[in-house]
Amino acid sequence: MPNKKELAIATNEKLSKYSTFQIGGPADFFYKLEDPADLIPLFKFAKKKKIPYFIMGGGSNILFDDNGFRGLVIKIDNKNISLSPGPKGSILLTADAGVSIASILDFSIKNDLSGLESWVGLPGTVGGAVYGNAGCNGLETSEILTEASVLDDKNCRIRKVPNNYFNFKYRQSKVKTSKEIVLSATFKLEKRTMSAEDQKKMMTEIRQSRIAKQPFGASTGSFFKNPSKAVPAGRLIEQAGLKGKTIGQAQISTKHGNFLVNLGGATSQDILKLARFARQAVKLKFGLTLQEEVQILSANGLQKL
């Protein structure tokens, strides 16, 4: 092993267990990371083996290859949450990258805080939210993040960086290209001013609205980025007449055009063929090229659609 600590690195771990698509073959090596200090020996392990590594969170925005991954998959699984005083009476919530969005929302409510209600139903983890500037119902990560701890895999140095460091854009952040790993993030919240009943009612309404628009089933949520707020990708796909379109066991949802669903037994190639079909149809009809929002991990590394 790469250092004195015995790291429980699994072999031939099936990736379909860790993806909301429920698709994916075995990774040659797999590690659930609870202690960020393990990253350094893991990097050394990958370097010694001369293999690539891939960092993942909740698996809600990834399409894994049926052939798996010929490298090391590191699943961020640290899960601490804490509170501290913020400026002008605000409250700062700091959560490890492996904490689910559902968990920080639940934690904030139990501590009489407000600011995360719009994230009801948002899948994924804190690390993934920062990585992709995730958001829903009008609230993006960039609007409430104050700072985050990141690790640079080149010099293995951990540092805290402010919001503006990430150069946030729609579903985009600097760490998508800088090869830095988000270890924790701090969000600025407020003490709840409405009643607990009103907060609960607000969240119920948001949840019901979300459920009404979005389908159930094995998917990653929105597959494509919206070309703009005024032009949702789902609407373009629907206007191209593709709702319900099926290739193999992959289907464009009959409920929402931007949801690709695994009907049961879909392969990664089924999903990719369907996504490419939808992109081509939208290009022909509207002259717009849709960009995928999900990460596509082939057997040898990340790829584009």
Count the alpha carbons within 13 Å of 234 in the hemisphere toward its beta carbon. 17
Amino acid identity of residue 160, one-letter, is: K
Residue whose pair of structure tokens reads 């002259």 in the numeric block? 287
Query: Any bridge partners for residue 55, and if so which?
Result: 74
CA distance 81 to 88: 21
Helix residue ranges per DSSP H, the chain: 39-49, 101-110, 126-132, 141-144, 175-178, 196-213, 233-239, 268-286
Alpha-carbon dihedral of residues 96, 102, 106, 109, nearest 10 degrees?
100
**Would you name the residues annotated as active-site residues?**
171, 222, 293
Q: How far apart are the first and last CA of the chain?
A: 36
- For the beta carbon of residue 301, count every other beta carbon within 10 angstroms: 13
